[in-house]
A and B are shown apart, each in its own frame.
Chain A
């Protein structure tokens, strides 16, 4: 089942990128996509980590929230750079996700918002570097943690 979804994604990507719709080109696309799916299946790459389908229903909602956060923290980072009031701080936060994919999503979301970077990861604990105590408080209130746990949907 997941192989068909992967094949569908790859083939739609081929159609969108090529822009030529001959019989020859499209059949070549079908052959190469099928070969890619075969290689991925043989390497046992098609599982919950390679193709996280359980994210999909709530993904759009989360992405809109994430874009809003990124815009806000871009503004704050620009202010900090222009003012020159830099007081960096390092701290650790606990995470409450179950699967590895959700943990990766949470760490990437922290890194993607300018002002906070995940520097080290151990089991269930992230070490975060923040540019200012305001950015640090944003992470320490665990709002993003709750959002990602909701996105995971396992609890």
Chain B
């Protein structure tokens, strides 16, 4: 039983590590602010979710699990807010995204 849980945790950590490292590479590689927001969103959702899932496999059911889930829920609710505020402010300062525009832009 212990061994199965350890293997599950390892798999989750592996996927999470891959996710955050690819996200950081995208943060360096992509061309402008609006594209980099997608890479940051990958770190915030994929990486955090898998790391927290892996840690939940290690604790079992206790108060620590509740705290882990709270961290996950908190990042889940605040990550879109910061992304949207950053994008909106960049648009207010007249930075236009690269690439094509379809239809009328606000």
Contact = CB atoms under 8 A, between A and B. Distances in A.
- Tell me, yes or no, whether A and B come into direct contact in the complex with CB atoms closer than 8 A: yes
Contact of A115 (B18, B29, B38, B91): B38
Nearest to A110: B80
B22 to A, nearest CB: 5
Select the residue from A82, A109, A111, A115 with max chain B CB neighbours within 10 A. A111
Interface in A92-127: 92, 107-109, 111-122, 125, 127
A92 B42 CA distance: 23
A32 interface: no
Interface residues of A, number: 38
Contacts, number: 121
Contact of B84 (A86, A88, A111): A111
B59 interface: no
A90 interface: yes
Interface residues of B, number: 45
Contacts of A78: 18-19, 22, 42
A74 B87 contact: no
B81 A91 contact: no
B104 to A, nearest CB: 7
Interface of A: 16-17, 19, 70-71, 74, 77-78, 81-82, 84, 86-92, 107-109, 111-122, 125, 127, 129, 131, 136
25 contacts: A17-B66, A77-B41, A82-B22, A88-B35, A90-B100, A91-B101, A91-B103, A92-B104, A108-B80, A108-B84, A112-B76, A114-B38, A114-B41, A114-B46, A117-B34, A117-B38, A117-B41, A119-B34, A119-B88, A120-B88, A120-B91, A127-B91, A127-B105, A129-B34, A129-B87
Given A78-B19, A111-B80, 4 more contacts: A84-B29, A88-B98, A90-B99, A120-B88
Interface of B: 18-19, 22-23, 25-26, 29-32, 34-35, 37-39, 41-42, 45-46, 49, 63, 66-67, 70, 76-77, 79-81, 83-84, 87-88, 90-91, 97-106
